[in-house]
Copies of this chain bind each other. A is one copy, B any other.
């Protein structure tokens, strides 16, 4: 009936399950309206809360705070509190966070190509 054995099928299943997990992890960095702008801004260097707020138009402090917590939990961003007066807090990408640039790069690349070929199909 089938060309592949039961064992092979199990292996394929395990493999694709791992892939799904990996893709989901990636999605956690980019889902929602504000995560990509935040990561994008932090790719230019560490920033304070207010700096990010000014960098990202229309974001509310509630959303910024929420998404930063999320990114911190997912190991994308670190939060450092300095006991200066008043306190300053710095947000910085982790190594994983920085390496996300590679993903962004292919997203840009694909997006540009897709735009080009979509234009081609309209003519």
Residues in B with CB closer than 8 Å to A109 are: 22
User: How extensive is the interface on chain A, given as a class?
Assistant: 20 to 34
Interface string of A8-34 (1 = CB under 8 A from B): 000000000011011111110011000
Counting CB contacts under 8 A, is A66 at the interface?
no
Contacting B at CB under 8 A, from A68-115, are: 75, 95-96, 99-100, 102-104, 106-115
Interface residue SS majority, chain A: helix
Whether A63 sits at the interface, judged by CB under 8 Å, is no
A121 beta carbon closer than 8 Å to chain B: yes
Let me know if B110 and A99 touch, CB within 8 A: yes
Asked if B23 contacts A104 (CB within 8 A), the reply is: yes
